[in-house]
Amino acid sequence: MSIGKNIAHDSGASHVTGSSIFIDDRVDSINEVFVGIVTSKIAKGKLLNIKMKRALAHKNCLGVYTSKDLAAKKWGAIFHDQPILVEEDISYFDEACAIIASDDRSKVLEIVKLVELETKEEKPTLTISEARALDDYVYKAPKPFSQGDIKKGFEDSEHILEGEFICGGQEHFYMESQAAVAIPVENGQMQVHASSQHPSETQRVVAEALGVPFHKVVCVVKRMGGGFGGKESQAAPIAAYAAIVASKLNRPTRLILTKDEDMKITGKRHPFENTYKVGFDKDGRILSLKVHLQADAGAYTDLSSSILERAMFHTDGAYYLENCEISGISYRTNNSSNTAYRGFGGPQGNMTIESIIEDIANYLNKDAYEIRRLNIYEGDKTLTPYGQELENNMLPALFDGLYKSCDYQKRLSEIEKFNNLKTGKIRGISMSATKFGIAFTARFLNQGSALVNLQLDATVQASTGATEMGQGVNTKIQQIISHAFGIEPKDIIVMSTSTEKNHNTSPTAASSGSDINGAAALDACNKIKGRLTELVKLIFSGVESDAIIELEIKKGSLDPDIVFENNKVKQLSSGKEIDLKELINSAYFNRISLGGYSHYKTPGLGFCKDRIEGKAFNYYTQGVAVSEVQVCEYTGDLKVLRSDIYMDLGRPLNPGIDKGQVTGAFVQGMGWVTTENLVYADSGELKTYSPTTYKIPNIQDTPRVFNVDFITNNDNECNVHRSKAVGEPPFLLGTSVWTAIKHALSYRADSKQMNLKSPATGEEILTELQRLKNGK
């Protein structure tokens, strides 16, 4: 039985030995061409002319291509509003305006610098407040999420606070930058190898740019060196640049961005500036809440509308809001077009309510855990602001279980004593939670497919629409197939994702890659097993193999009396068994199909955002985290002393991989709220575009003590093998580090309300400390 076991990641050995093949590890083809991108040096204005004479005179330049060379001028994940290459209007600093081709990789950047852009600069809009003043937005939620009577709720409230929560963006910082190799093949076809989370979208954008039907483009994704959402939509134009050059020159073409180029050109996590008004009683019970979310979409729509909605879906966090109104708008600025990022807006919404709870606790001079425990979804209080019931609610057990196991009360007392010593260091502790809805909020994306081929030696080749970016989706699918056929995981290979085998795929995103593609793989296996089951029952009944030849076994069905395990097929009632390989060969000689294709769609989903009704999510992954921090009052230096995580992952398919996802997501979330600060010049140019100026967490930043545990929950019947998704939910738990900082600062606060921004860098901590000490 493979389900629930810690089998190794299917690429683990090749990763550590350096033999895994990524895009730029592909051996150079004969006559391969290399591409560079020419970008704008203004954030807003007009592109008047592209001077390419000097570039074309370079001995290694094979061509310069502009929007005039594209069949389709624009692309977009939802709305086609973003230029593949700028035609006239420049909308952000370092926007792609032209591409160059060179026969010498070392000369690409040299040639790029020879292309001159004549532009007319205009005043850019670089902040949410500037865009709000212009009323310039890309999307406004059609209707707020609301329930109850917020007016009466505020009238009944003993206390009312108003404030804002501000959080910055975040660079994806995947190890493998955006990359693509395009290979022209016969009859005008194009094969594209891309580092993409969404092969089907990459296929479509390439085909549209080339002006060819979709069936002439095949996109192949073996693996990515990280994605985190940054390759969901924005990998597509990168592949298109390579394909255009390959088509023009009829030569294999490679485009690999440097880390600096990638950070400058591509979009980030959406910054948010959220305002709130909260009413509560003397105990801290929230009686009324009004929140308005304001996102920075950047220059184009990309996925901003869906990200804003996801933020609205998660503004309740883990807490029941009897009377509430949650609205949102996504503003257009002249920053790079912001895009998907792990959590997809969920962290920005969830962190808002966690910040509000810290404010309530500080105002009432209570511990924030008391406020959280008082307000969580519990008992019959399980209706969300968007009208969906929280089923299989594990939050009370998670809160109570972690509170006890991490010795919260004892540690809180010790922190209070430590802070009274006035050593120049202050400590804080805080719990935060996640109730992450699993499903794409766009209903049509909740579908997957799988092709499973059972070979004559009882090994399997499988293909799905999921893409592997290090998260282990292929390993989980390998385990699902292994369990289905009763064979070893090593006897299964999950092949490269390809649009010629799995068509019209959804992106591997929304934490649902294992869910929808794993369910499709299981169904494909069961189709094969159904036919084998009918055959083996005939064999066990005494029918000779020669007599089976004329029987038509096309479909068949599973039978609990027939069990596939340990490379054998057994009949429980009779005790008879046969080697799986022998049964497979009998099926082959009797012309019974040993291949299975399945299309899966998540049942029961359907949410109407105009009426605010329906089922938005298939289920919820829930979890809590407690973090303890120490802050230096003189330098703002932060140390995370300890973090404890307790999560509900249903019945994990692979606990080891899931634990890796939890710890990795937590640290990435912790980085977002502490050190990862994006800095822009007044011109709109990104200044923090390399590891020297942009600080992701390193080993010294991780918690000194780090505990992860999973609660037992076998009741998630709506997902494959009762598992739960794990990719995004634990990212939200990194918030506990930020709320712990807020708790620490409260010990030095003469003010009843804090304005700590995220990320809480050393500079931000010192600024807030000074303000709080002055009672402002």
Give the residue numbers marked as catalytic.
728
Is residue 150 within 8 Å of 234, Cβ to Cβ? Answer: no
740: amino acid identity, one letter: A
| Bridge partners (DSSP) listed for residue 493 | 461
Is residue 166 within 8 Å of 272, Cβ to Cβ? Answer: yes
Q: Please, what is the angle between helix 408-420 and helix 395-405, to 10°?
A: 50
* Local structure of residue 319 (DSSP, 8 states): B
Residue corresponding to tokens 């990789």: 105
CA–CA separation, 232 vs 39, rounded Å? Answer: 22
What are the C-alpha distances in Å from 152 to residues 147, 156, 290, 449? 12, 6, 12, 49
| Bridge partners (DSSP) listed for residue 425 | 632
Collapsed DSSP state (helix, strand, coil) of residue 400: helix
Residue corresponding to tokens 């080749």: 461
b (16+ CB within 10 A) / e for 635-657: ebebebbbbbbbbbbbbbbbeeb
Least Cα distance to 623 among 433, 352, 382 occurs for 433
Determine how β-strand 595-601 pairs with β-strand 606-608: unpaired
**Interacting residues of 659 by C-beta distance below 8 A, sequence separation 6+:** 708
Q: Please, what is the angle between helix 304-313 and helix 346-364, to 10°?
A: 40
Both tokens assigned to 352: 């808002």
CA–CA separation, 776 vs 770, rounded Å? Answer: 9
Least Cα distance to 294 among 164, 387, 385, 171 occurs for 164
Strands (E), 58-178: 61-65, 74-75, 82-83, 89-90, 96-102, 116-121, 137-140, 145-147, 159-167
Backbone angles phi, psi at 557, to 5 degrees: -150, 155
Sheet holding 577-579: strands in order across?
562-565, 568-571, 577-579
Helix (H) or strand (E) holding 770: helix 762-773
Instruction: Print the SS3 string covering 323-364.
Output: CEEEEEEEEECCCCCCCCCCCCCHHHHHHHHHHHHHHHHHHH
Peptide bond into 142 cis (omega under 30): no
Torsion angle of alpha carbons 253, 255, 256, 258, nearest 10°?
140
Neighbours of 8 (CB within 10 A): 14
What are the C-alpha distances in Å from 530 to residues 229, 494, 560, 581, 718? 38, 22, 11, 16, 22
Least Cα distance to 357 among 345, 343, 367 occurs for 367
Strands (E), 412-478: 425-438, 447-454, 460-464
Is residue 682 within 8 Å of 127, Cβ to Cβ? Answer: no
